[in-house]
Each structure stands twice: as structure tokens, then as C-alpha cells.
Amino acid sequence: MREIDQSLRETGNDLYYSSDKVSKIAMMAANEMGIPPARPGSKPKAKKVSPPRKSPVPPPSASGAARTNTTTASETQRASEAAIASINSIDDLENFLDKEIGGTF
């Protein structure tokens, strides 16, 4: 656009002093770049913007004691079997369920 403006001034073109010089120069520059003029009444096409890609969220890491737990699966299973074997009443069952799964169902 600066080149066009400069050439208008150097050649003494009347457009250089025109009130709509900016829009005319913009049209000339668009023509040089191969951009077609907008049609009256038509809306300009907006570029489709793809949503940003979400990066995968890593699973939460275990906190302090959970990382250093040395209880094996077989020890946990034996403890659960012993607790089940000691259930002798409904109250014992409710207490076991509260401890294991957080409530009675």
C-alpha cells in the first residue's frame, strides 16, 4: 500500500489528494494480491477455527502414605476374609460395610 501511495504522489495523480484515497489504495493492493472485491450485501466468509487440542491429563499421583504402602494383595485379602468370618450379627455386618464401602446398601 505504501508503494502505491508513493507512486501516486510521484506521478502527481489526483487520487493522492482524494478523500477516499485509503479505500482506493486498499482495493488496488487487494487486486495485486488476487483478492476479489466484496460483493454488496454478501457477508465475508469467516475462517473456520478449530478448537484447541486438549492435552491428556495424567492420572493423579498417590499421596504420601499411599506410595509407601507395603501391604500386599494377599495380606489385604486375608484381612478381609478374617473380618467377614467374624460377622455374627446385623450390626457386625453394617459395621463391616461402613468400613469397607462407606455405607450400608
Supply the pLDDT for residue 105: 57
Write 17-26 long-range contacts (CB < 8 A, 24+). Answer: 25/1, 26/1
User: Is residue 92 scored above 70 in pLDDT?
Assistant: yes
% of the chain at pLDDT higher than 70: 83
User: Is residue 104 scored above 60 in pLDDT?
Assistant: no
d(CA 84, CA 93): 8
Q: Is residue 60 part of a domain?
A: no
Q: Is residue 27 part of a domain?
A: yes
> What digits encode the pLDDT tens for the residues 22-32?
888 888 888 88
Within 10 A of 8 (CB to CB), how many other CB atoms are there?
Answer: 19
Supply the pLDDT for residue 44: 64
Q: Is residue 66 part of a domain?
A: no
Q: Is residue 88 part of a domain?
A: yes
Q: Strand, coil or helix: what is 57?
A: coil
Q: Is residue 83 part of a domain?
A: yes
Supply the range of the domain harboring residue 76.
71-101
Number of independent structural domains in the chain: 2
> What digits encode the pLDDT tens for the residues 4-49?
888 878 888 887 888 888 888 888 888 888 887 777 766 666 677 7
d(CA 90, CA 104): 11
d(CA 44, CA 53): 27
Q: Is residue 9 part of a domain?
A: yes
